[in-house]
Each structure stands twice: as structure tokens, then as C-alpha cells.
Structure 1
Amino acid sequence: MEKERNLNKSIESNSTNNVAFKSFEELQYKGENGVAPFACTTLIVKDKNNNVYHGRGMELTFGEGLSSLTYYPKGYVFQHLAPDQSKGLQYTAKYAVMAVTTPISAFDPKCAMEGFNDAGLAFSLNMMPAPPLKDLTPDQYPNSVPFASFGEYILAVFATVEELKAGITQGVNFWSESLQMLGGLKTPFHFAVYDKTGGSVVIEVKNGALIVYDNPTGVMTNGPEFPWHIENLNNYSHMTNIETVVGQVGDVKLRQPDSGIATSVLPSSATSVGRFVKAVYYSAFANRVDNPDVQLAELGHVMNNFDRPKNITKELAAPAKEDGTPAKYMTEFTLWVVLTDLSRGEMHVRLYDSLNYQKFTFEQFKSNTDEVSILLK
């Protein structure tokens, strides 16, 4: 009887105090309007010796001629700015850093979008609209770093994913700035981080603070939040790369006239949701070889599945006007693709207008004692 009374009391309490009611509008996606899309796919594959290779594509509706390959030597001193433009955190790079940088931040003209260090830690900055980080107090300004500079910070001070997980909240305060290039959004990013042992995490902003998720898939795209993508994977428990060439429906026997039916279970769209599922499939079943050069080529073939040509999809940017001005559209395309060998310290970059990759290595910059920045074109 006592259990029954407690249960009834619990039900009564939930019915009166602990039930939240949400309208349909509250459930709908609250993405920003009028902002140029900014889509990315990042993943890792391994060779037969478990060496890690990182692939990433950057999709934008603009940006040609804005990206640079930037190198920072070990010992380079970074000086960031606080929200009031006073001096924020200053720190010295423990590792040499190589990154693809773009001037999306007023506080960091060489914002790292993609990069790795000579210890074998790599990251990708991908767009995911989310509420900004909690505002800092003035006493936190001396240790502050703009969130758009998160990537270069972790590459300068950490060697592994485990080090990052243990130290990401120590001695640094990240803050969200308004990015004019992205329509005033406040650093709408999340980050994928990898190391050469295969460690993988995703860092997102939730309730104004950073949250770090272990990432056994090694894959990240864009929104929704990372846990949503993992939950959605449960809808693809039937994924396999084993072809079903022969089948039977009722009394009718069926046979495939060609190969490739296994990929019919994959989403056909280039949305972040579709790309996440496809990236999990391609990275999981990528061919594994002994030769690192061949494995990079295998990774290149995988990343070709996420290459987006111009004009294949278009989004309305401005409607037609009564004065006869036609509607304007923007088209998202793959600005560049990066293939990174975390063990050998190689980064290969292919631009939209190029058939071939440009190769950059830590070895070629070892004599440089200051920052080097090369416009990618």
C-alpha cells in the first residue's frame, strides 16, 4: 500500500508540476535565415597498420581566393584578443602547426578552419548554428580566446585527444564573437578532433558551455547536434557493403544485372544528415592497404563522394522584384578538399578549379622560425 501511495503521489506531482508542454513551432528548426550555407564533411580512415588519415571537404557559396596554407613553428607566440579588444590569452606553441586559414574573424585574420600539428593531432571546424557561449566577465578577459580560434589553440598546446579532454578547461576561456562574414552569427561552430592513434571527439556548445563527446565513428558534418546524428544512425542498422546480387520476392527470383546495390540504402541528399550517414559508411568500409601513399589515394576516392559541383543545388538568396529584377540564387560548392597523413606530417590540398592536390609537409617548413602563409590558388 505504501508503494502504491508513493506511485500515485509521483503521478500527481508529474501531472501538475513536472510536465512541459511545447507547441509545434517550438519543435521546428530555428536555423538562421539569409546566411550563406557553410557545409563540411570530415572523417578518418585507417590503413592496415592502423595509421590514421584525415579527410575533409569545405563547402561554401563564396570564398574562392580567400584561403591560405599557414604554418606556425614550435615556439610561435599567439596573442589573442578579449571581447573588449584588450589583450586576451598569450601562449607559446608547444608544437608546429599547419592549417588552412580564412579571414572570417575580425579578431583572427587567419582563422584556422582545418589543420594538424607535428604531434599528429588534427581538427576540423564545421558550421553548426547554436546559441553562443556564456558571456565572460572582465576578470576572465586576460585568459580569453575567440571561439573561432579554438582550432589553432588546441593544435598549439595538445598532442593527443586524451590531453585535450583533460586540459581543455584549464587556463583558457573561450568567447563568442559576432562574425560579419557569416551574417553576424556568433561563432556558430563545432569541432571534430583526431589524433594519430585514432582518438576522436566532437566539441560543441550547449547551454552556453563546451561539451566534449567521444566519437567512435570518426565522422562529423553539420547540424543538428552530434548526439542527434548518432541516434539517427540507428535507422541504418541494415547498412552493409556486401552486395545482395540474388533475391526472391514471393515466387519471383531476382538477380542484379550490375554491382553497386549495397549503396542503395544510403541517403541520396547532400544535406548534413545525409552526408553524416554516407561518411560513416564510406569511412567504415574504405579499402585498407599497407602503403601510406596508396592509402591517401584511397582516402581521396572516399572524399570524392562528398565533392559538390557548382549549380547542382541552388538556394534562393533574394526573390524577384516587381521592377523586373530577377531572383538571385546562391550555390554551395566544394571550395577545397584536404587529405592529411597524421603519422607522416603531410597535408594535401585540392582547390575547386584544380584536378590535382598540392602537397605540404612539416619537413619543408622546418627551417622557418616565424609564421609562413601561402595563398592557395
Structure 2
Amino acid sequence: MCTSITLETKGNNFLARTMDFGFELDARIVYAPRNYQWYSDVANDATHTSKYGFVGAGKKIGHNYFFADGINEHGLAIAELYYPNEAKYHDTVVEGKVNVAPHELIMWILGNLKDINELEKRIDDIRLVSSTIEFLGGTPPLHYIVYDRSGRTVTLESESGELLIKNNEVGVMTNSPDLNWHIQNLNNYIYLQNTPRSNKMFKDTEAHAFGQGSGTQGLPGGYTPPERFVRALFLKESLPEITSAKQGVNSIYHVLGNLDIPKGAVIKADGALDYTQYISVMSVNETAYYIRTYDNPEIKRLSITKDMLETIHEVKEYPLTKEIEFYELG
């Protein structure tokens, strides 16, 4: 599970996501510097060197870091979400291609590309090759949402093995089915509105709403991917005008707070609790990364600065305080 949205405001654009998972990922903010070298789990441990610095939620697994989302120094932002029963990958590498495992794609994109235009030019060079992650018990089925400073959103999906780039004009992504299915499903919800329904006459009797919010009657409230897709889109499209980065971040946390899964609400077949471990926001104009975890609602922020790019030459981790803290007002 997971939900992602993009938001375009006056002066700042954002990509944000919930990270919903069935066991503790123990993610922390990780900064990967320019010239960071990493070794692919496919293509005979081929070496990749990042041209650009980037920051995101990550964790070291073996000799590599695993990034679930992130933003680079040029404001290109990306998040990966689960795509079960749909994602298909190649089993072999091809010489001359950028052969990477699905969980490595974020590192390659953020380390090598400035924007979506460059991604479009390189998309045919990328070959996703199956690679087992032991603690997941297989190759994670993933698709990706990408955003840049132009305000354009695209989704990357690989139903046939080849990586396809799809314009995502609504700026929302959840999980399976594919993006086109979710867009078509919006036809079922054209009655939704954030204004009141008009009163209705039944012969000589006038019926009226019991209270505010009558226009939202029928808004999906469950946690399935189709329900979260519709709810996320309705809520973000209903936001009033936003004129500052602080307002943008605050608004996103209110929207995704409605998609936040508390522990116990969704239990997997194996008994594990699928819950929202963190909500992250990537501010593409500020090149800043915000995160709030399940156990501590305080928002942490790390921005990519000129000084950071020029002086930090090793991967740097920023562990997150897990325990909630209260501020005494007396």
C-alpha cells in the first residue's frame, strides 16, 4: 500500500507520499553526495556513479542503500509504490543498457537526471532486471511517480517488462491496478463536490441535508488502492489557494492525514499490521525533504544546500527520533 500526490502552488511545487508497509522498515533520511558510487545487484555488480546529490528516505541493505523516495539538487523528485500482480521485469541483462534492479531505479534517476525531459530521452535505455531482496522474500513489484519543477507529473510502469512513461495529469498514485484504470474509475465519482447539495422536493415535502458536507456523500473511505486514489484526488483538488511553502507542506499533511493508516485498521493475511510508517514531502523548488513518522508527528526537514553539495563527500544518515515528545506549556 502507499498513496502519493503532487501539489502545484504559487511559488512552490511538491511531491508527497505515505509509506504504508507490513513490517518495520526503520527508514531514516539519507543524503547521497555527488560522485556517490554504488554497485548494482544485477549486471555483475556494475558500478554506477551519481552526478547529482540527492536526499530521501533510505536504508542500507548489503552494500547498497535502498531509497523509497527522494529529491535531487535539481528538484527532480520520485517515489516508488507497490504494484502487485502488475509489474513485470526482465530476467537477463543486455549490454549497452542501464541494467538496474527495480529497487535501484530511484538511485539511478536521482543521481543522473535533472528533469522529466531528460528522463524521457533516457527511458528506452533503462532495463529493469529482477533481483531478490532477502528480507522481502523476492523482487519487489514497483511503479514510480516522478515530478519536477515544471509542475509535470509522470508515472513509470512496467506491465510488459519494458518501462513505460505515462503522463499523470491528476498527480495521484496508489497501487494496482494501473494508472489508466484509476483514471477511468474517476467516472464513477463525478457527483462529488465540496459544496452543499441543493434541497429536493418530494411532492410537498422538502428534503435537506442534516449538516455540512452533503456534497461528499459517497466519497470512498476505505483503504483499498481505488478508494485511496479517489479520496486523495478529491481532497487535494479541494484545497484553497496556497501561497507559501509552509502552507503547502501543512496542507499536504492534512490531505495525506486522511490516507494515514493507523495500526490495526489493515491486517494482512499473515497477521502483520499494514500501517503508515511515515509521510514525506519533497519540495522541488526548495530542494527540501520533509518527513513525519508514525511514532513522532513532529516534522523533520533537510534541504540540499550549496554548502552540503560542496563539502559532504560521503553518504550521511540522519536517524529519526521515534518517541513522541510533548511540549509543556506551564
TM-score by length of 2: 0.89
Q: 1:308 aligns with which of 232, 244, 261?
A: 261
Partner of 2:325: none
Which whole-Å deviations, capped at 9, do the CAs of 1:70-116 have from their partners, x for residues lacking one?
A: 11122323332325xx232x33323211010135x65x642110111
Q: 1:92 aligns with which of 28, 49, 62?
A: 49
The answer to whether the 8 A contact 1:82-1:142 is kept is no
The answer to whether the 8 A contact 1:287-1:298 is kept is no
Which whole-Å deviations, capped at 9, do the CAs of 1:108-133 have from their partners, x for residues lacking one?
A: 64211011112111111100123531
Partner of 1:58: 19
Q: 1:334 aligns with which of 260, 269, 276?
A: 276
Q: 1:250 to 1:211 in 2, by over 3 A?
A: farther
The 5 Å alignment of 1:25-174 reads: 39-49=1-11, 51-63=12-24, 66-82=26-42, 86-88=44-46, 90-103=47-60, 109-129=64-84, 130-137=86-93, 140=95, 143-170=98-125, 172-174=126-128
The answer to whether the 8 A contact 1:70-1:372 is kept is yes
The 5 Å alignment of 1:3-42 reads: 39-42=1-4
The answer to whether the 8 A contact 1:313-1:331 is kept is yes
SS at match of 2:169: coil
Which whole-Å deviations, capped at 9, do the CAs of 1:121-150 have from their partners, x for residues lacking one?
A: 11111001235312224x538842211111
Q: Distance in 1 between matches of 2:224 and 2:191?
A: 21
Partner of 1:269: 222
Partner of 1:191: 144
Q: 1:245 to 1:354 in 2, by over 3 A?
A: farther
Q: 2:133 aligns with which of 164, 172, 179?
A: 179
SS at match of 2:217: helix
Residue identity in the other structure for 1:371: V
Structure 1 unaligned runs (5+)? 1-38, 318-328
Residue identity in the other structure for 1:123: I
Q: Distance in 2 between matches of 1:80 and 1:259?
A: 54
Partner of 1:349: 291
Q: 1:102 to 1:192 in 2, by over 3 A?
A: same
The answer to whether the 8 A contact 2:146-2:153 is kept is yes
Q: Distance in 1 between matches of 2:64 and 2:313?
A: 20
Q: 1:252 to 1:331 in 2, by over 3 A?
A: farther
Residue identity in the other structure for 2:127: N
SS at match of 1:235: helix
Q: Distance in 2 between matches of 1:217 and 1:258?
A: 30
The answer to whether the 8 A contact 2:120-2:165 is kept is yes
Q: Distance in 1 between matches of 2:108 and 2:100?
A: 8
Q: Distance in 2 between matches of 1:40 and 1:242?
A: 28
TM-score by length of 1: 0.79
Q: 1:61 to 1:191 in 2, by over 3 A?
A: same
Residue identity in the other structure for 2:52: Y
Which whole-Å deviations, capped at 9, do the CAs of 1:4-54 have from their partners, x for residues lacking one?
A: xxxxxxxxxxxxxxxxxxxxxxxxxxxxxxxxxxx10000112234x2122
Q: Higher Cα Rg: structure 1 or 2?
A: 1
Q: Distance in 2 between matches of 1:237 and 1:215?
A: 19
Residue identity in the other structure for 1:42: S
Partner of 1:205: 158
Q: 1:193 to 1:265 in 2, by over 3 A?
A: same
Deviation at 1:361, TM superposition (A): 1.1
SS at match of 2:265: coil
Deviation at 1:208, TM superposition (A): 1.8
Which whole-Å deviations, capped at 9, do the CAs of 1:165-187 have from their partners, x for residues lacking one?
A: 121223x4321112332232x23
Residue identity in the other structure for 1:158: L
Q: 1:167 to 1:316 in 2, by over 3 A?
A: closer
Deviation at 1:222, TM superposition (A): 0.5
The 5 Å alignment of 1:236-315 reads: 236-244=189-197, 246-315=199-268
Higher relative contact order structure (alpha carbons within 8 Å, sequence separation ≥ 6): 2
The answer to whether the 8 A contact 1:243-1:262 is kept is yes
Structure 2 unaligned runs (5+)? 322-330
Q: Distance in 2 between matches of 1:143 and 1:167?
A: 9
Residue identity in the other structure for 1:120: G
